[in-house]
C-alpha cells in the first residue's frame, strides 16, 4: 500500500496542536523553504538517509541514569533508542516521581531538543509481537502467541496515532521493528537442533510475519516515519543456510498485511548484540597453513567476520530481492567496542588457523552465540551518520547499562522470564556450542538498570571514552 491511499492517522489531542505547530512550522521553513510545506507539514520531504544533517534525540531518562554513574556523564549526551516494549510503555508507567515518560512525552521533548537543529531524528523501537522472543526467555513479552489483533489494535494503532500527530511532523521518526523475531523463524524452527516449540508455533501461525507487515504498513503510511527492520547480526544470519532465507523472509514480511517494500527505509544489524563492527586483523579470505579462516572454530563456516561486511552484503541481497535500491543499514554499536587492555593490536600467530583468529579478534566472547550481559564488552563507535557505503548510521539502540536479562529467576509483571544464558554458571546449549554463557553475575531483568554492566562498558569502550 502506498503512502497516499490510507487515511493519515490523527491523534486525539487537538489541544496540543496550535502551540506545537508554531515550532513545527519554523523548522519546516528551514528544512524545505516552501510555503506549501509550511501550510501542510505532512508533505515534508522524504530523504534517502534520515540521519544526514540531523541531530538525534537524547532520552532524558537514560541520560539521567548514565550521568548518575561515576564517569557516566562523558557519554550521557549520546542518543539512544526509546523502547516501546509493552503496551503500558506507550502512555508511560508509574505515578508521581516514579512515573516514566510515555511516547508522546518523548516526542514533545524531541520537539524541544530539535530547536536549533535543521533536522532531527527520533529513534523508537517497536517491540511487542505476539509470542515475543520465542527462542529465549529473558525478553518474553506480554502477548500470547495468538494475540495478533491485540498487537494491531492496542499497540501498533495507538503508536501510529501518536506518531502521526502533526505536532511531530517535522521530526524524522526512525522505527526499529521487532528485534529478533524474523531471524528466530529462520534458525530456531523445524529440524534445527536449536528449534523451540514457540518458534515453530510462530512460524506456523504466521503472527510474526503478519505483525511485522502490519507495523510496516501502518507506520509506513506516516510521511515522516522511516522503518528499519531488525536483521539479527552476522553471528546469527551470516551462514549461507540462514542468509538467503532470511532475506526472503524479510521480503515476505514487507509484503504482508498491506505492507510493501517501499514502507522499508532499511534494516538494522546487531541490535542489543555484541558482534564486532570490523575485525581488522583477519578476514574471511585469509588462509593459514592451508586452512581457510572460515574453518576456524570461531568463524565456523560463517561467510562473514563482522557486522560491517555482513550489513553491506545483506543490503545488496535485499536490493536484489526487490527492496528499493536506496535502502540503508543501521548498525547498533552500543556495546560492540571490545576495548580495554586486552584488545589485540595485530594479527594472531600463524601457527594454526585458530591461533591466528583467536589471537587477532576484537570480539572476546567465549562463543559468537552468547548474547546476555557479556563480560568484557565495551561501548562501540559513537553514533554517527553515513559512516560507510550503504550504512545510514551507527546507532545506540540498546541503551548501554540496561540489562539483557536476569541472571536468576526474578518475579516481575513485564512477562520477562529467566534465561539460563544470563546465568554466568550456565554451561550452554546448541545455540552457543555448549559454551559457558559469558554473562555478568547479579543482573536485573531485561531493560532494568545494571550499574555494574554500565561500568564495564565504560571501562572497555573502544574508541575509549575520554
Ligand atoms: C528488554 C526491554 C528493554 C530493552 C532495552 C530488552 O531486552 O526486553 O524491556 O526495553 O531491552 O533495554
Question: Would the CB of 402 count as within 6 Å of ligand 1?
Answer: yes
Q: How many CB atoms lie within 10 A of CB 433?
A: 14
Which residue puts its alpha carbon closest to atom 2 of ligand 1?
447
User: Which residues does 204 contact at the CB level (< 8 Å), separation at least 6?
Assistant: none
Output the CA 446–ligand 1 centroid distance in Å.
Answer: 5
Instruction: Please tell me the predicted confidence (pLDDT) of residue 97.
Output: 85
Question: What digits encode the pLDDT tens for the residues 388-418?
Answer: 999 999 999 999 999 999 999 999 998 899 9
Question: Would the CB of 337 count as within 6 Å of ligand 1?
Answer: no
Question: What digits encode the pLDDT tens for the residues 99-139?
Answer: 999 999 999 999 999 999 999 999 999 999 999 999 999 99
Catalytic residues: 133, 180, 404
Which residue puts its alpha carbon closest to atom 11 of ligand 1?
447
What residue numbers does the annotated binding site for substrate cover?
83, 85, 233, 236, 273, 371, 398, 402
Instruction: Please tell me the predicted confidence (pLDDT) of residue 223.
Output: 97
Instruction: Please tell me the predicted confidence (pLDDT) of residue 444.
Output: 98
Domains of the chain: 3-459 (3.20.20.40)
**Which of 83, 102, 374, 419 is the pocket-test mutation for ligand 1 (most atoms within 8 Å of CB)?**
83
Which residue puts its alpha carbon closest to atom 5 of ligand 1?
447
Question: Would the CB of 444 count as within 6 Å of ligand 1?
Answer: no
Question: Would the CB of 180 count as within 6 Å of ligand 1?
Answer: no
Instruction: Please tell me the predicted confidence (pLDDT) of residue 10.
Output: 38
Distance of alpha carbon 383 from the chain centroid = 13
Q: Is the pTM of this model over 0.85?
A: yes
Output the CA 445–ligand 1 centroid distance in Å.
Answer: 9
Residue 158: name the closest of 114, 128, 113 by CA.
128
Instruction: Please tell me the predicted confidence (pLDDT) of residue 66.
Output: 98
> Measured between alpha carbons, how far is 167 from 44 in angstroms, rounded to an integer?
13
- Separate counts of helices (H) and strands (E) for the chain: 15, 11
Distance of alpha carbon 306 from the chain centroid = 16
The residue whose grid cell reads 532499511 is: 266
Output the CA 307–ligand 1 centroid distance in Å.
Answer: 21
Question: Would the CB of 332 count as within 6 Å of ligand 1?
Answer: no
- Residue 391's H or E segment, with its range, is strand 391-395
Strands 291-292 and 328-332: unpaired
Question: Would the CB of 178 count as within 6 Å of ligand 1?
Answer: no
Output the CA 289–ligand 1 centroid distance in Å.
Answer: 44
Instruction: Please tell me the predicted confidence (pLDDT) of residue 389.
Output: 98
Residue 160: name the closest of 170, 152, 172, 171 by CA.
152
Instruction: Please tell me the predicted confidence (pLDDT) of residue 39.
Output: 42
> Measured between alpha carbons, how far is 78 from 85 in angstroms, rounded to an integer?
21
Instruction: Please tell me the predicted confidence (pLDDT) of residue 16.
Output: 32
**Positions in the chain short of pLDDT 70:** 1-44
Instruction: Please tell me the predicted confidence (pLDDT) of residue 291.
Output: 98
Amino acid at each position: 500500500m502506498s503512502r497516499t491511499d490510507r487515511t493519515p492517522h490523527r491523534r486525539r489531542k487537538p489541544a496540543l496542536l496550535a502551540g506545537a505547530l508554531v515550532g513545527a512550522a519554523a523548522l519546516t521553513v528551514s528544512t524545505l523553504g516552501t510555503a506549501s510545506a509550511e501550510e501542510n507539514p505532512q508533505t515534508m520531504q522524504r530523504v534517502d538517509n534520515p540521519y544526514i544533517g540531523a541531530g538525534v534525540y537524547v532520552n532524558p531518562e537514560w541520560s539521567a541514569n548514565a550521568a548518575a554513574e561515576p564517569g557516566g556523564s562523558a557519554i550521557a549526551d549520546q542518543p539512544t533508542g526509546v523502547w516501546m516494549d509493552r503496551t503500558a510503555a506507550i502512555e508511560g508507567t508509574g505515578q508521581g516521581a516514579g512515573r516514566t515518560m510515555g511516547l508522546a512525552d518523548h516526542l514533545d521533548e524531541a520537539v524541544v531538543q530539535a530547536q536549533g537543529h535543521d533536522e532531527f531524528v527520533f529513534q523508537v523501537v517497536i517491540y511487542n509481537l505476539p509470542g515475543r522472543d520465542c527462542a529465549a526467555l529473558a525478553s518474553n513479552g506480554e502477548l500470547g502467541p495468538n494475540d495478533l489483533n491485540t498487537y494491531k489494535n492496542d499497540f501498533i494503532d495507538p503508536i501510529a496515532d501518536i506518531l502521526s500527530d502533526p505536532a511531530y511532523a517535522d521530526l524524522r521518526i526512525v522505527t526499529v521493528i521487532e528485534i529478533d523475531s524474523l531471524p528466530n523463524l529462520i534458525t530456531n524452527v523445524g529440524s534445527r537442533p536449536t528449534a523451540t516449540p514457540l518458534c515453530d508455533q510462530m512460524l506456523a501461525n504466521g503472527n510474526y510475519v503478519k505483525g511485522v507487515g502490519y507495523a510496516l504498513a501502518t507506520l509506513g503510511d506516516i510521511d515522516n516515519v522511516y522503518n528499519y527492520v531488525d536483521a539479527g547480526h552476522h553471528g546469527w544470519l551470516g551462514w549461507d543456510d540462514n542468509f538467503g532465507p532470511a532475506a526472503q523472509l524479510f521480503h515476505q514480511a514487507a509484503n504482508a498485511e498491506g505492507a510493501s517494500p517501499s514502507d522499508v527505509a532499511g534494516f538494522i544489524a546487531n541490535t542489543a548484540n555484541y558482534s564486532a563492527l570490523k575485525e581488522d586483523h583477519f578476514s574471511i579470505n585469509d588462509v593459514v597453513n592451508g586452512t581457510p579462516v572460515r574453518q576456524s572454530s570461531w568463524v565456523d563456516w560463517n561467510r562473514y567476520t563482522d557486522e560491517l561486511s555482513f550489513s553491506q552484503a545483506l543490503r545488496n541481497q535485499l536490493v536484489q530481492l526487490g527492496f528499493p535500491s536506496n535502502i540503508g543499514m543501521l548498525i547498533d554499536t552500543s556495546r560492540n567496542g571490545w576495548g580495554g587492555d586486552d584488545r589485540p593490536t595485530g594479527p594472531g600467530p600463524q601457527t594454526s588457523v585458530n591461533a591466528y583468529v583467536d589471537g587477532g579478534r576484537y570480539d572476546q566472547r567465549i562463543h559468537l552465540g552468547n548474547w546476555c550481559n557479556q563480560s568484557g564488552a565495551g561501548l562501540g563507535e559513537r553514533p554517527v551518520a553515513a559512516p560507510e557505503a550503504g550504512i545510514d548510521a551507527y546507532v545506540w539502540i540498546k541503551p548501554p547499562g540496561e540489562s539483557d536479562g536476569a541472571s536468576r529467576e526474578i518475579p516481575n509483571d513485564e512477562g520477562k522470564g529467566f534465561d539460563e544464558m544470563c546465568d554466568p554458571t550456565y554451561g550452554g546449549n546448541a545455540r552457543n556450542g555448549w559454551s559457558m554463557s559469558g554473562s555478568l553475575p547479579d543482573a536485573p531483568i531485561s531493560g532494568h538498570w545494571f550499574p555494574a554492566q554500565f561500568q564495564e562498558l565504560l571501562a572497555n569502550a573502544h574508541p575509549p571514552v575520554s
